Amino acid sequence: MSVRIDAIIVGLGAAGGLIATELARGGQKVVAIEKGAFYRQSDFLGKFDEIRYYCRSAIVPHMKSDPITWRPNEKTKAEVLPWASNTLGLGNPFQIPPSMGTGGGTLNWGGAAFRFREADFRMKSTIAERFSESALPEYTTLEDWPIDYRQMEPYFDRVEWELGVAGKAGNVNNTTVEGGNPFEASRSRDYPMPPIQRGAVDDLFCDTAKRMGYHPFPTPTAIATTDYKGRKACTNCGFCHGFPCHIGSKLSTHDLIKAAVEETGNLEIRPFSRVFRINKRADGRVKGVSYYDADSRIVDLEAEVVILACYALENARLLLNSGINGNGHVGKHLILHNYGWFNGVLPEITNSFMGSLQGGSIIDDYTSELIPDNEEGVLWGSPINTWTGDFQPIETIHGLPPHVPKWGKSFKDWMGQNFRRLFRMYSQHSTLPSNCYYVDLDPVVKDPFGQPALRITHEWTDYDAKAVEYFMRIKRKIAKEMGMLEWWEDSPTPNYHVTVHDVGTHRMGLDPNTSVTNPYGEVHECKGLYAVGGGQFVSQPSYNPTQMIFALAYLTSDHLLERV
Amino acid sequence: MSNMFFNEEEMGLVQAICSRLIPSEPDSPGAMEAQAYTYIDHALAGYFSHLQNYYRQRLHDFNRLANRYYGADYVRLAAEQQDELLHSIERMQVGEDSDDMRVFFEVIHEHTIEGTFGDPKYGGNRDFVGWRMIGFPGAQWGYTGEQMQLGYDSGQIEILSVTDLLKRHKEAEKEVSRS
Ligand SMILES: Cc1cc2nc3c(=O)[nH]c(=O)nc-3n(C[C@H](O)[C@H](O)[C@H](O)COP(=O)(O)OP(=O)(O)OC[C@H]3O[C@@H](n4cnc5c(N)ncnc54)[C@H](O)[C@@H]3O)c2cc1C
């Protein structure tokens, strides 16, 4: 190839899409390799379609092309996880890695956008100080982060203002602001846009929560609520989570990438191409990647810098498949979220199909280090999140209360009475990283290109179940106070093992013996190779991870552009 | 014959099953009026073409069960017997001989739901029967703050399919198509 390439980016999702944009705008020549499509906005105009996006999972990887296997422990043989309109066309695609194509997971995400708390960077020491050195279960490999809130604050701010997040600040420069989250860490300024349109249930939830002594605040969302930097204000269409946005209100790196391609001339995208190996030079530095192009031909591409941004699971698969795992830490320390779903029916019609799922409020009174002293041994808290809109019919039917028949007249009656008054609360309990739960290469199952499938070894622990149950009790109390007519709960040890918040598989650290990357995402054992995204996380907060993924992507970009 | 995949006999059986899964009532149509069976037929000719033999075989087995337990084809049974058979298949324990039937029940149940509550362009949800049943207005460009108030009657909103919606938004479509 005659043209010099400064950087190859593998995967154009949250992290890769932002880094590709930043480098191209900073004057670097970038080639991005993406296994999905290079979409046009018009592809999404008819997106109000549950069959296409939910039942048939039009923009997510499928079992056949992208198999992932799972086993609960090392004694059991792993089996291919069912998802995405599985072989029999049974739609239960909760268990999915985020979508593919330009934008990746930011095409179908829900847009909840949180900063970490200060303590989220020092979970291990916070627990040791608060409880005792021996409070943590023995199996955990939990560590503190090598970076802290103060260092990341400017990057969180940049995500909120450059990319655009809507919300209400609760603490600006150490001054409490009415209406926001009183428990948040100090921020340098408010959000650039007001919170998203409230779902009809929000007043009832907030009044109830306040009466019970909690401090609800509106969920911050990376969804434009006013026209902002070329993005249109959200219309509250109610096809949001799991669907691409029809007008670009929901932040997607697809839009950033597309603008960067057109405006800089520095970014070339090679869609329908999947990388299967990272190549190294004799001196150990990265040389480039090998990929299957759209016609399944193998192509080798070289560059000074290679950035893996394929999501925490696929990043680990590529590192392992390329023999880059000198210290044995790749794929270890897997952390998932357990959502503790709590569904219910409200006494009044709220039209729960309208608007964003994030049109409600959150309680942070017991989040992370704010967990009250307790007998159960729960060491780390979670918010109580609400889900106020964005319910579609088929997805709702997949989650009916156990007492309701799945068919017949009673089914019909229940749906007729209740589809318009649904409400959901949930939490985000992070599992503790360990050496027992990890991802590696499946010894048997291969993808259609002959590459080993990723294998997940994971089971929910007693500790996880305890934490979930602690918060279920709070949700039950709130439900009662709200006057909810009935409610039903997910198991504290649910049957999903891919949670779309899967992190930690190539965690960062300063010590090359115990971590995979440095804080900029550069892989210790292979100069010039970066592995970015949630895989870099050392611990997972009880918030959605993507604002942090963006913040880290800015950090990596600044480093590559020699700004830091 | 307007079917894309099923023969007449299979279609009769699928219709009989659909009409028990989401039954029709005097003032409230069900899967039959929604033509969920057309959805299934079209899907098998297209997106689910890998399930053609599966459906054919299982429908045959299903009817055999009807004959074994009630001595007649499923379509000839009384509604109560039809329900009874569906119930017993649904409750079959994993690992029993008829495990296959239990899974098939799940499959045809799922596809009946999809054919009743999905967008009409896939062949089902005729006249928005499924969406009317539950008060869902379908594909809407958005909702206003006034509509997102407690107790708002969504029956005031005209139900739209994706196709209807895009017709109304030709202008927006043009604007977005340029990008
Ligand atoms: C339904 C849903 C709702 C969500 N809601 C939220 C939310 O509200 N808030 C939040 O913070 N997070 C949310 N998430 C999670 C969020 O989507 C992820 O955290 C985020 O997208 C991860 O970013 P990433 O860059 O690591 O990977 P991704 O965004 O997944 O991007 C990876 C990209 O790499 C490509 N790729 C993979 N393998 C290869 C290969 N071998 N070669 C070439 N390309 C490859 C993929 O096609 C994809 O485009 C949600 C996810 C889903 C699925």
Q: Which two three-digit tokens encode residue B54?
A: 């599966």
Assign A97 a pLDDT band (cuts: 50, 70, 90): confident
Is the pLDDT at A290 greater than 60, yes or no? yes
Assign A373 a pLDDT band (cuts: 50, 70, 90): very high
Average pLDDT of chain A to the nearest whole number: 95
Is the pLDDT at B94 greater than 60, yes or no? no
Average pLDDT of chain B to the nearest whole number: 92
Assign A6 a pLDDT band (cuts: 50, 70, 90): very high
- Summarize pLDDT for B159-173 with one digit per residue, the tens: 999 999 999 877 666
Taking a C-beta distance cutoff of 8 angstroms, is the pair A367, A215 a contact?
A: no
Crossing angle for the helix pair A149-158 and A546-560, to the nearest 10 degrees: 90
SS3 content of chain A, % helix, strand, coil (to 5): 25, 20, 55
- Report, as an integer, the average pLDDT of A486-503: 94
In angstroms, what is the span from residue A420 Cα to ligand 1's centroid?
30
Assign A201 a pLDDT band (cuts: 50, 70, 90): very high
Interface predicted TM-score (ipTM): 0.94
Q: Which two three-digit tokens encode residue B126?
A: 């005729």
The pTM of the full predicted model, rounded to 2 decimals, is 0.97
Question: Which position has the token pair 């009743």?
Answer: B116
Within 8 A of A199 by CB-CB distance, chain B residues are: 148
Is the pLDDT at A414 greater than 70, yes or no? yes
pLDDT score, position A319: 98
pLDDT score, position B176: 57
- The verdict on a CB contact (< 8 Å) between A42 and B131 is no
Within 8 A of A203 by CB-CB distance, chain B residues are: 150
- Summarize pLDDT for A306-317 with one digit per residue, the tens: 999 999 999 999
Assign A3 a pLDDT band (cuts: 50, 70, 90): confident
- The verdict on a CB contact (< 8 Å) between B152 and A351 is yes
Q: Is A257 helix (H, G, I), strand (E, B) or coil?
A: helix
Residue B174 exposed, middle or buried by CB count within 10 Å (0-12, 13-18, 19+): exposed
- The verdict on a CB contact (< 8 Å) between A354 and B107 is no
Backbone angles phi, psi at A404, to 5 degrees: -90, 125
A318 CB-near residues (< 8 Å, 6+ apart): A10, A275, A276, A277, A278, A308, A310
pLDDT score, position A63: 84
Domains of chain A, CATH where assigned: 7-172+197-560 (3.50.50.60)
Backbone angles phi, psi at A496, to 5 degrees: -100, 150
Is the pLDDT at A398 greater than 80, yes or no? yes
Within 8 A of B152 by CB-CB distance, chain A residues are: 200, 349, 351
CA closest to A255 among chain B residues: B179
- Summarize pLDDT for A534-553 with one digit per residue, the tens: 999 999 999 999 999 999 99
Q: List C-alpha distances in Å: A501 to A109, A335, A536, B21.
A: 11, 8, 13, 36
pLDDT score, position A1: 46
SS3 content of chain B, % helix, strand, coil (to 5): 65, 0, 35
In whole angstroms, give the CA distance from residue A263 to residue A181.
38
Question: Which position has the token pair 């979970």?
Answer: A123
In whole angstroms, give the CA distance from residue A414 to residue A400.
9
In angstroms, what is the span from residue A106 Cα to ligand 1's centroid?
6
Is the pLDDT at A2 greater than 60, yes or no? no
Q: What is the dihedral of CA A485, A491, A497, A502, to 10 degrees?
A: 60
Q: Which two three-digit tokens encode residue A69?
A: 């296997």
Of B109, B145, B177, the CB nearest to A197: B145
pLDDT score, position B22: 98
In angstroms, what is the span from residue A49 Cα to ligand 1's centroid?
21
In whole angstroms, give the CA distance from residue A249 to residue A231.
5
- The verdict on a CB contact (< 8 Å) between A237 and B142 is yes
- Summarize pLDDT for B2-60 with one digit per residue, the tens: 899 999 999 999 999 999 999 999 999 999 999 999 999 999 999 999 999 999 999 99
Between CA A330 and CA A61, with CA A439 as vertex, the angle to 5 degrees is 115
Beta-bridge partners for A140: A434
Kindly state the DSSP code that residue A115 receives in the 8-state scheme: P
Assign A278 a pLDDT band (cuts: 50, 70, 90): very high
| A289-309 residues labelled b (16+ CB within 10 A) or e (exposed) | bebbeeeeeeeebebbbbbbb
pLDDT score, position B169: 79
- Report, as an integer, the average pLDDT of A276-302: 97
In whole angstroms, give the CA distance from residue B145 to residue B152.
11
